């Protein structure tokens, strides 16, 4: 019990020194100890006190924002940060909202996207197990499993009364982050679909742009960031820099001086001022929002589609002495205008909502892409 009280002191103390007086702090510590004692004596079932304390720690972190969380030693060892373009699972980028797992974006070409999972969906059950009350990392762990096995997801979707059931087969997810083509021969428009910002995206992206630029007839470009959940900050900066001659791209602000920085474009627009349309939707998050927001603020591109997700923060993975770890928000992104992306996102210059019937990105029924093409003069 003493260990529990000591741990509770550490938890409360770290978040209270600027808020409580010493007497208030001691009262809260005593209250926490009293709650633990009553659970131990009177709760209907036996409780694993170590698990209970893990939940308490995670509760503190998740009360800060949807992206901070605690990982037990077992979970911490299993989790591998996805920045290398290959990972196992269903192909969903997820976050937390009001204690519920929310889909930030399904990744194109993955089992989740093919099954019909959409940005903004809420995952309420994984394999028949209720998700509410679990941490983000615990939810991720439940969705992962041996390649070829299936998992049932129960989804709540906006404007749909009944829960939706999906059975999805797990597989190794290989993300080819860039694809490109000429989408309108008569208008000579270069189309680049950027699915994620992983460690090699900038090289793939620039290679596509340079290939197009050899075609002297190219009039302009459509950059498609729909359902792009983001990735590496450095990649967002590098790719945005391809289209700007000068000016700020993004700034980060945190409590530490090292986390407060500004990033600027270097001289040289790779497409020499040609018209640029950027497509975004509710599944465009993080690095995608930096790219779209910076080009919007500099009036370098027309942003078209739907409001982006609103993930404007940077997380760091911090190892802990027990072998576990914590994912902690250490800074926030700010656009050149000084606006924060967090919980607000990027608002498109032209609002075009996707059609509900059989909508599919880069198909004949893609009304957003068709709208973008029509912006270019014949």
Judge whether 85 and 199 are in contact, CB under 8 Å: yes
CA-wise closest residue to 302 among 238, 348, 337, 347: 348
Task: Please report how many Cα atoms fall inside a 13 Å half-sphere around the Cα of residue 92, on the Cβ side.
Answer: 31
Residue positions annotated with a catalytic role = 286, 297, 311
How many CB atoms within 10 Å of residue 32?
18
For residue 17, is it left (φ>0), alpha (ψ between -120 and 50) or beta?
A: alpha
| CA angle centred on 328, ends 324 and 330, rounded to 5° | 145
CA-wise closest residue to 259 among 316, 315, 328, 330: 330
CA-wise closest residue to 58 among 352, 246, 66: 66
Q: Which helix (H) or strand (E) holds 114?
A: helix 111-115
Task: Please report how many Cα atoms fall inside a 13 Å half-sphere around the Cα of residue 290, on the Cβ side.
Answer: 32
Q: Which helix (H) or strand (E) holds 76?
A: helix 73-78
CA-wise closest residue to 107 among 193, 28, 188: 193
Beta bridge partners of 327: 69, 317
Q: How far apart are CA 331 and CA 292, in angstroms?
A: 20
């Amino acid at each position: 019990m003493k260990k529990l009280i000591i741990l509770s002191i550490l938890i409360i103390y770290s978040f209270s020194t600027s808020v409580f007086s010493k007497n208030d702090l001691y009262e809260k510590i005593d209250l926490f100890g009293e709650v633990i004692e009553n659970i131990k004596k009177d709760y209907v079932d036996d409780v694993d006190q170590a698990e209970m304390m893990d939940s308490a720690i995670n509760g503190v972190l998740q009360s800060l924002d949807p992206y901070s969380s605690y990982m037990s030693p077992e979970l911490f060892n299993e989790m591998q940060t996805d920045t290398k373009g290959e990972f196992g699972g269903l192909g969903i980028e997820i976050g937390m909202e009001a204690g519920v797992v929310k889909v930030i974006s399904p990744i194109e070409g993955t089992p989740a996207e093919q099954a019909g999972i959409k940005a903004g969906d809420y995952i309420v059950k994984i394999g028949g197990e209720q998700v509410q009350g679990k941490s983000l990392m615990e939810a991720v762990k439940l969705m992962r499993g041996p390649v070829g096995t299936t998992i049932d997801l129960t989804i709540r979707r906006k404007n749909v009364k009944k829960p939706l059931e999906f059975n999805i087969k797990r597989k190794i997810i290989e993300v080819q982050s860039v694809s490109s083509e000429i989408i309108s021969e008569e208008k000579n428009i270069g189309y680049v679909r950027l699915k994620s910002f992983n460690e090699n995206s900038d090289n793939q992206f620039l290679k596509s742009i340079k290939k197009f630029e050899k075609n002297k007839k190219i009039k302009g470009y459509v950059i498609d960031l729909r359902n792009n959940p983001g990735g590496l900050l450095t990649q967002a900066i590098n790719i945005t820099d391809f289209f700007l001659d000068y000016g700020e791209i993004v700034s980060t602000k945190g409590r530490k001086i090292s986390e407060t920085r500004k990033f600027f474009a270097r001289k040289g627009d790779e497409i020499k001022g040609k018209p640029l349309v950027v497509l975004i939707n509710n599944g465009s998050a993080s690095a995608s929002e930096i790219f779209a927001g910076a080009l919007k603020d500099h009036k370098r591109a027309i942003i078209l589609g739907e409001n982006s997700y609103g993930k404007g923060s940077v997380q760091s993975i911090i190892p802990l002495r027990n072998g576990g770890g914590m994912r902690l928000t250490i800074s926030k992104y700010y656009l050149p205008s000084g606006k924060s992306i967090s919980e607000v996102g990027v608002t498109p210059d032209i609002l075009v909502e996707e059609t509900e019937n059989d909508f599919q990105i880069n198909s004949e029924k893609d009304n957003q892409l068709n709208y973008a093409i029509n912006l270019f003069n014949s």
